[in-house]
Structure 1
Amino acid sequence: MPDTPAALELVALSKRFAGREAVSGLSLRVPPGELYALLGENGAGKTTTLRMIAGLLAPDAGEVSIYGHSVVNDALEAKRRLAYLPDDPMLYGKLRPAEYLEFVAGLWSMPAAQAAPEAERLLRWLGLWEYRGELTEGFSRGMKQKLALAGALIHKPSLLLLDEPLTGLDAGAARQVKDALRAFADGGGAVVLTTHIMEVAERLSDRIGVIRGGQLIAQGTLDELRARAGHAGAGSLEDVFLELVGQPQESRPGADVVA
């Protein structure tokens, strides 16, 4: 519905570093309930974009709004609805899982009586409950990634940002994280993730955006991107992605494949 605020809306977002434009006039809209994958080669501007959405970097130009709240002008209300999971999340090795979640919940001013049962629910859901008595410094990468995801979800955000959430995970841990993200979106939350694993974006996402040189060069469903790349309903996302990023920039029509 047009009057419903987008979970995330970027308008002409730009950021420069040392004279180089890392993100250039990026605009996109993600509605509630959607899982949106942002794809691009190394240095395309994906992480910079996520960090601006999360309020960790100030944009040079443009706007970021989360459920209608500006990240710049209404930062507190915007960030209450947001969780950001970087590609190498920081945990505290001397804390146990429940202690870590209690600490994170405290940062969000959650009452202990509310945080404790939510922490238990998340640890059980992500298969970490049996390890609740162990220090996180001994966890595998997959266990750490799942605990970081639990920390991101503890305050019940409505928008989840994830930078390469499946890198280095074994098949079992990756399946649990993917199922958790899909369930979050199916429950009405919005997910924006970056990944170099094309199969993940192909199978998991509702829509896909392709970024190159800090600009959104295409977005849409996989079938819409296939049509844009001239694959006529066939071809893997990897094939489509390589075709799109290989097109000369001056020969490309507008980024949106949806009217």
Structure 2
Amino acid sequence: MIELSYITKSYNGKGKAVDNVTLTVNGGEIFGFLGPNGAGKTTTIKMMTGIAKPDKGTIRMNGYDVAADPIQAKKQFGYVPDSPDLFLRLKGLEYLNFMADMYEVPKPLRKERIETLGRRFDMEQALSDPIQSYSHGMRQKIVIMGVLIHDPEVWILDEPLTGLDPKSSYTLKEMMREHAAAGKTVFFSTHVLEVAEKLCDRVAIINKGDILFCGTFKEMQERFQSDLSLEKLFLELTGDE
């Protein structure tokens, strides 16, 4: 479960990148976080993960306060950033073992998980190669694998499908469904509204730091008395701001 309570963030004392945002993301659901470029999505995610500090408000991961109890809070989630260009000098397997060490995953268990993830993402043959030799899509896959190595309760994914080939994209969406079906939490931002419409249990739309809507796609249609697609409703919502 993720709980954001009245979080606000501004940069250089200018306009608020995120303004008084309150959201609850429950276990057992896939939650989509949507908004145009510069809307506040990545700033919100950076505050959720402890990379950025909110000016005010509280953030909890499975009940642990990210500011007051950062170590326990960070053990609850796995975070895929919007850029996969990390630890490029390491080989794929070295990176996965580094991530497993960080989260104290026992050696027999990590071996099993690396084999399973490598098979699901078709990365078994590439793990002995340096990450800097990988394509963008392969880098995205190794980052996702590293995030999942400790089997976190909460997944926080910032544009996770970018650069993935169709097979890997399908695999990740399948894994997101499996994770939610097990009663765990998936929070992901995306620009691909068609994917959000098919995959998410609920969505929130943010623009200029404000949450314009939070709920199911059906609730959105009922609220705006429209049978338009999520894409068209999104454009209507964010275009008039």
Q: TM-score, normalised by structure 2?
A: 0.93
Query: What residue number does 1:224 align with?
Result: 219
Q: Which runs of 5+ in 2 are unaligned?
A: none
1:205-216 aligned at under 5 Å gives the runs 205-216=200-211
Q: Is the 8 A contact 2:140 2:163 kept in 1?
A: no
Q: Is the 8 A contact 1:87 1:164 kept in 2?
A: yes
Query: What residue number does 2:136 align with?
Result: 141
Q: Is the 8 A contact 1:98 1:120 kept in 2?
A: no
Runs of 4+ residues over 4 Å off in structure 1: none
Q: Deviations over 1:153-203 (max 9, x none)?
A: 111111111111112333223222222222222222211111111111111
Query: What residue number does 2:4 align with?
Result: 10
Range 18-27 or range 237-246, more displaced: 237-246
Instruction: Work out the percentage of aligned pairs sharing the same amino acid.
Output: 38
SS in 1 for 2:18: strand
Q: Structure 1 residue 239 and structure 2 residue 215: aligned? A: no
Q: Which runs of 5+ in 1 are unaligned?
A: 1-6, 249-259
Q: Is the 8 A contact 1:229 1:244 kept in 2?
A: no
Q: Is the 8 A contact 2:59 2:65 kept in 1?
A: yes
SS in 2 for 1:103: helix
Query: What residue number does 1:195 align with?
Result: 190
How large is the RMSD of aligned CA atoms in angstroms?
1.6
Query: What residue number does 1:73 align with?
Result: 68
1:25-174 aligned at under 5 Å gives the runs 25-174=20-169
SS in 2 for 1:134: coil
Displacement of 1:247 after TM fit?
4.4
Q: Is the 8 A contact 2:32 2:203 kept in 1?
A: yes
Displacement of 1:69 after TM fit?
0.8
Q: TM-score, normalised by structure 1?
A: 0.87
Range 42-51 or range 167-176, more displaced: 167-176
SS in 1 for 2:156: strand
In the alignment of these two chains, the number of paired residues is: 240
CA distance in 1, matches of 2:58, 2:126: 42
SS in 2 for 1:230: coil
Displacement of 1:125 after TM fit?
2.2
Higher relative CO (CA 8 A, sep ≥ 6), structure 1 or 2? 2
